[in-house]
Amino acid sequence: MSTYRKWLVAAGAVLAATTALQSPALADPDPDNSADVQVTVDIEEIKQPGVLALSIADGSVALSEDGSTLQARQFAGTLPTVTVTDTRTREEVPGGAAWAVLGSATEFAGNAGQAPISAGHLGWKPRLLDGGGTGLVTEGEEVVTVLDEPTQPGNNVGLVDQELLVSTFDSGTVAGGSFSVNANLFLRTPADVAAGSYTSTLTLSLFE
């Protein structure tokens, strides 16, 4: 090893020793010279906004023959209870809002190739079961079939298009309530309708 390298090694050893001697040990904290900070937070419950929703007690109804004559056959039943539930507060409802449940049916398709029966042969008479205490929720008007004379101007069309089941013209006033309705259903056909099973889909839609 050269004299110069020996000198560098020796100088490094002296520096390390000096540094070790000059590094004081950490002293224990003085309890009289400490301070605490208390950390708090308020966590509020998450509040879900209310909703306007439709439900129906059962997904099917079977019509049975009742009230047939020599000129026409009639099959009747009751629409399962339809409930509109509004869990919103009045402040959550847009100003001037109104809601309505509308219904329309497809044609009755036969299960054995028999000719279908148009939805114009299906009628209903809505019946309000629980409209709340405001008087602002009302059932729709009766809709009779294409085989009937109208009971209201132009209402002998059947459930081909969207027909009113229940509605309110003031969503804000009835917000927070639950309302139920059903309807008398009646299918009227010509007396010579083909025998067999038929199926139609009645679609109920809630609009606001």
Residue 19 amino acid letter: T
Q: pLDDT at position 47, please?
A: 82
CATH fold label, 52-207: Immunoglobulin-like (2.60.40)
Q: Is 21 helix (H, G, I), strand (E, B) or coil?
A: helix
> What are the two backbone dihedrals, phi and then psi, of residue 20, each rounded to the nearest 5 degrees?
-60, -40
pLDDT digits (tens, 9 = 90+) for 63-72: 999 999 999 9
| Structure-token match 């879900």, residue found | 48
pLDDT band at 31 (very low <50, low <70, confident <90, very high): low
In this prediction the pTM is 0.79
Domain residue ranges in the chain:
52-207
pLDDT of residue 44 exceeding 50: yes
Q: pLDDT at position 8, please?
A: 40
Q: pLDDT exceeding 90 applies to what percent of the chain?
A: 80
